[in-house]
Structure 1
Amino acid sequence: MTTSASLAIVAPRQMIIGGGSLSRLGDLLKQFGFSRPLVVTDPWMQSSGTVEKCLAPLRAAGFAPVVFHETVPDPTDTVIAAGVAVLQAGDFDVLIGFGGGSPMDTAKAMAILAAAPAGTPMSAFKVPVAADKAALPVICIPTTAGTGSEATRFTVITDVARDEKMLIAGLGALPLAAIVDHDLTRTVPARTKADTGIDSLTHALEAYVSKRANPVSDMYAERAMRLIGPHLRRVYKDPADDAAREAMMLGATLAGLAFSNASVALIHGMSRPIGAHFHVPHGLSNAMLLPAVTGFGLNHALPRYAEAARCIGCAAPSDADQVAGAKLMEELRALNHELEVPSPAAYGIAQAKWNALLPVMAEQALASGSPGNNPRVPDAAQIMELYVEAFGA
């Protein structure tokens, strides 16, 4: 954990949190002096009419919003380029990312790419490059309790030509503001609740054990785990549980603030290649890896993992670290079982293709930089072993 007295902490300038807070969107834009919003969302939000929940308060405030709805799961550099073309063809002064992680990540990447000279590829911004410039400010409005993108300085974009999920980090990806309204999660399917919920738990856990953790990120991570731990199963089983939905939404945002300031680690580094090569949703690929990767690093940061277990609620305050660590491993396996998380094998991934891609996935995981934050830093061979362990029968 970082103990230096000097910390650089980043967060959106304003966050409006609570049920019904989306109604304040128009006032938020006026407060910052914006008048020409481009709303970035996905095809389902558009076709189902759900995007109207975002557009209605804008129109009521006198704005005439334009919608770009061509985002895709695991956003690609080609979609970002298409979005930038729409952005530059109009006269906009703010981007609004409305939806799950994909629309929010797309809006952030559009803002970054639009600030670059024409013809610059999205790959020019992948880590270790600092993507600190953006053409327009971004306001994020999450509709799932999971990615935390509304609070982070990160966006993840797939390079289509290379089948690589690129981590892009910098102040250009940090939203100016966010609206976190748990009422927007009422109709989220159970599978998505599970995947995004485990994603947010992974954010908090990895931020807590990261070598870049600090006292401020710890406060966010601990509170996030205390909210997510008791409520993830509840929100998965009962969509009408308003208290659980509210807790999960706040927990996801706090987890986003935690990993934005401490970074993620090995789970995320290994998860991105699975998404790129096999199109597994990000939260689900995290869940597939969570027990095996946690076990790999457990004894290298046992006091931190033990305290995480106490925060999550699966270990008692009086449990010794070794006992709490063992209970954490039991909890992660039980959580995957109860939330019906499939192994890669059960998901339908062919073992021959998985094995053939092991060297490439290990290389891409290491190149992301995230494994270097892990309590136990692996080499390529150890990452491949972990992929084999996680594959399942």
Structure 2
Amino acid sequence: MSNRFVLNETSYHGAGAINDIATEAKTRGFQKAFVCSDPDLVKFGVTQKVLNVLDQNDLEYTLYSNIKPNPTIENVQTGVEAFKKSNADYIIAIGGGSSMDTAKAVGIIIANPEHEDVRSLEGAVNTPNKSIPIIAVPTTAGTAAEVTINYVITDVEKSRKFVCVDPHDIPVIAIIDPDMMSSMPKGLTAATGMDALTHAIEGYITAGAWELSDMFHIKAIEIISRSLRGAVANTPEGRADMALGQYVAGMGFSNVGLGIVHSMAHTLGAKYDTPHGIANAILLPTVMEYNAEATGTKYRDIAIAMGVEGVENMSQEEYRKAAIDAVKKLAEDVGIPKDLKDIVKEEDIPFLAASAYADACRPGNPKETSVEDIAALFRSLL
């Protein structure tokens, strides 16, 4: 059996990297951009930083901002219609996972009109054509959507999220500019940073992990663990390191999958509109405890990467606990809630558990699970 690995054609890293958008657009002969960005980023002038680059280089664009924090089927549908009217030939996605996911779905449907029914994109779909070219500019250090082959759409009618996996949706260019992340508030920085840590840890222990993906994930855990506190404090070094750490995690998990932390977080987002990073951060330590017996010596590596001292002298039980405690401490230090009691209603747990079990991330979990196990995990956090 072979292992596939898919990455961007090109990525730019560092302060001022957004200026390379103009060079790439001109070199590739692009004529007009369809700019996808959420309304808050437009309102607070973050999107304008990229629009200024386009204006200064006489590059045409249309702005689309009908995007919700957990993007919906309707957001994608209106985006498709707006793209058709725009006469654009490429997409610039500016924002976090919401903008990126909307852009990916729009780009895939424009290139593959037989998938105009957005629900038809659920799961691993082998679309025949590559997406309309996407230049992805993240404004959060967490989702790594700029380097992944995944996107997530909310089906409001059915109160569920569905994961789409398609190598044809990966952005051709990723622009990782920490200056685009400097205006993130502390709470969002903490939540998206813990999302990135979840990607790295789940990717490291997922059933599909192998040596190449392990290399990315263990380095991402190290970078995120040392830099998230600084990023929340808005230090330049913390921002820059988190921008890199979340991208490195994305390079890994995009190719090997995740686990039930994400399955459970997806259903919380669909049911209660819970921010994805917050959901992941609350769930991660509890699910790590649940999965520990199926992870071999990997929690030892996680503990070391997170800076725990004396791991070489610990028993298996001790280093597993140390890894989990390090995650809990980081979450506490950046202000993440400890439980779901203000989010989940007891009567919703059967639906939440069934939905999480059906999620595309669940088969990657290192430990075989069940609807009943997932329900118990939800209840343990009330």
TM-score range, shorter chain: over 0.9
* Residue from 28, 36, 39 that aligns with 1:40: 36
CA RMSD of aligned residues (A): 1.7
In 1, Cα distance between the equivalents of 2:276 and 2:142? 10
Q: Which residue of 2 aligns with 1:324?
A: 319
Q: Which residue of 2 aligns with 1:65?
A: 61
Maintained 8 Å contact 1:37/1:66: yes
Q: Give the Å deviation of 1:315.
A: 4.6
In 2, Cα distance between the equivalents of 1:254 and 1:345? 29
Maintained 8 Å contact 1:101/1:149: yes
1:192 aligns with 2:188: yes
Counting only pairs closer than 5 Å after superposition, residues 240-255 of structure 1 correspond to structure 2 as 241-255=235-249
Q: Which residue of 2 aligns with 1:83?
A: 79
Counting only pairs closer than 5 Å after superposition, residues 214-229 of structure 1 correspond to structure 2 as 214-229=210-225
1:209 aligns with 2:200: no
Q: Give the Å deviation of 1:116.
A: 3.7
Counting only pairs closer than 5 Å after superposition, residues 90-105 of structure 1 correspond to structure 2 as 90-105=86-101
Q: Give the Å deviation of 1:314.
A: 2.5
Q: Which residue of 2 aligns with 1:297?
A: 291
In 2, Cα distance between the equivalents of 1:331 and 1:107? 35
Where do 4+ consecutive residues of structure 1 move more than 4 Å?
Answer: 343-346
Change (3 A) 1:11 1:38: same
In 1, Cα distance between the equivalents of 2:129 and 2:339? 37
Q: Which residue of 2 aligns with 1:314?
A: 308
Change (3 A) 1:303 1:93: same
In 1, Cα distance between the equivalents of 2:313 and 2:212? 25
Q: Give the Å deviation of 1:328.
A: 1.0
Maintained 8 Å contact 1:27/1:61: no
- C-alpha offsets along residues 89-143 of structure 1, whole Å, 9 cap, x if unaligned? 1211111100111111110111122234378321111114345644411111001
Maintained 8 Å contact 1:131/1:169: no
* DSSP-derived class of the 2:113 partner: coil
In 2, Cα distance between the equivalents of 1:296 and 1:114? 42
In 1, Cα distance between the equivalents of 2:148 and 2:12? 15
In 2, Cα distance between the equivalents of 1:77 and 1:292? 31
Change (3 A) 1:73 1:132: farther
Change (3 A) 1:108 1:119: closer
Maintained 8 Å contact 2:259/2:364: yes
Change (3 A) 1:132 1:196: farther
* DSSP-derived class of the 1:280 partner: coil
Quick check: 153-162 or 330-339, which moved more?
330-339
Q: Which residue of 2 aligns with 1:358?
A: 349
1:51 aligns with 2:44: no
**Percent identity between the two aligned chains:** 29
Quick check: 198-207 or 106-115, which moved more?
106-115
Q: Which residue of 2 aligns with 1:376?
A: 367
1:338 aligns with 2:333: yes
In 2, Cα distance between the equivalents of 1:362 and 1:112? 30
Q: Give the Å deviation of 1:161.
A: 0.8
Quick check: 30-39 or 198-207, which moved more?
30-39
* Residue from 247, 260, 265 that aligns with 1:266: 260
Maintained 8 Å contact 1:234/1:244: yes
- C-alpha offsets along residues 323-343 of structure 1, whole Å, 9 cap, x if unaligned? 221111111222232222224
- Number of equivalences: 381
Counting only pairs closer than 5 Å after superposition, residues 129-208 of structure 1 correspond to structure 2 as 129-131=125-127, 133-208=129-204
Maintained 8 Å contact 1:132/1:171: no
* TM-score normalised by structure 2 residue count: 0.95
Could you tell me which runs of 5 or more consecutive residues in structure 1 were left unpaired when the two chains were aligned: none
Letter paired with 1:369: A
In 2, Cα distance between the equivalents of 1:83 and 1:113? 10
* TM-score normalised by structure 1 residue count: 0.93
In 2, Cα distance between the equivalents of 1:135 and 1:183? 27
Could you tell me which runs of 5 or more consecutive residues in structure 2 were left unpaired when the two chains were aligned: none
In 2, Cα distance between the equivalents of 1:154 and 1:196? 17
In 1, Cα distance between the equivalents of 2:267 and 2:308? 30
Maintained 8 Å contact 1:314/1:331: yes
In 2, Cα distance between the equivalents of 1:230 and 1:274? 28
Maintained 8 Å contact 1:266/1:371: yes
1:27 aligns with 2:23: yes
1:15 aligns with 2:6: no
- C-alpha offsets along residues 219-257 of structure 1, whole Å, 9 cap, x if unaligned? 111111110011112222x21x11111111100000111
In 2, Cα distance between the equivalents of 1:32 and 1:146? 28
